[in-house]
Amino acid sequence: MTHLVAVGGSDAGISAALRARELDPATEVTVVVADRYPNFSICGIPYYFTGEVAPWQSLAHRTAADLEATGMRLRLDTRATRIDVAARTLAVRTADGVEEDVAYDELIVATGALPVRAGIAGLDALGPEQGVHVIHSMPDALALDRDLERRQPRSAVIVGAGYVGLEMAEAFTARGLRVTLLQRRPEVLSTLDRELGALVREELAAHGVQVVTDAAVRSVEHRPSGLRVVTDRASHDADLVLVVVGVRPNVELLERAGATLGAGGAVVVDASMRTGLPGVWAAGDGVVTHHRLLGETYLPLGTTAHKQGRIAGENAVGGTARFAGSVGTQVVKVFDLVAARTGLRDHEAVAAGLAPVTIASVADDHKRYYPGAHPIRFRVTGDPRDGRLLGAQLVGRRGTEVAKRVDVFATAIHAGLGVAQLSDLDLSYTPPLGSPWDAVQLAAQAWTGEAERMEGRTGIEPA
Comparing CA positions, the residue from 34, 26, 23 lying closest to residue 3 is 26
Residues 6 or more apart from 202 whose CB is under 8 A from it? none
The catalytic residue among 2, 23, 35, 43 is 43
| 62 contacts 9 by C-beta, under 8 angstroms | no
pLDDT tens for 82-137 read 999 999 999 999 999 999 999 999 999 999 999 998 889 999 999 999 999 999 99
| 392 contacts 409 by C-beta, under 8 angstroms | yes
Q: Determine the topology of domain 3-38+51-112+248-316 in CATH.
A: FAD/NAD(P)-binding domain (3.50.50)
- Give residue limits of the domains in the chain: 3-38+51-112+248-316, 123-245, 330-454
Residue 243: predicted pLDDT = 97
43: annotated active-site residue: yes
Question: Is CATH 3.50.50.60 the classification given to domain 123-245?
Answer: yes
Residues 6 or more apart from 34 whose CB is under 8 A from it? 8, 9, 77, 78, 79, 80
CATH ID of 330-454, from 3.40.50.1170, 3.50.50.60, 1.10.240.10, 3.30.70.260: 3.50.50.60
The span from the CA of 420 to the CA of 104, in Å, is 52
Query: Hey, CA dihedral for 282, 283, 284, 287, is it positive or negative?
Result: positive
Per-residue buried b or exposed e for 329-341, using 16+ beta carbons within 10 Å of the residue's own CB: bbbbbbbebbbbb
Distance from first CA to last CA of the chain, Å, rounded? 50
Residues of the chain predicted below pLDDT 70: 456-463
Same fold, 3-38+51-112+248-316 and 330-454: yes
**Strand locations in 137-291 (E):** 155-159, 178-182, 210-212, 217-223, 226-231, 235-238, 240-243, 247-249, 280-282, 289-291
Give this prediction's pTM.
0.94
Q: Tell me phi and psi for residue 316, to 5 degrees.
A: -65, -20
Residue 457: predicted pLDDT = 52
Residue 59: predicted pLDDT = 96
Comparing CA positions, the residue from 415, 368, 408 lying closest to residue 392 is 408
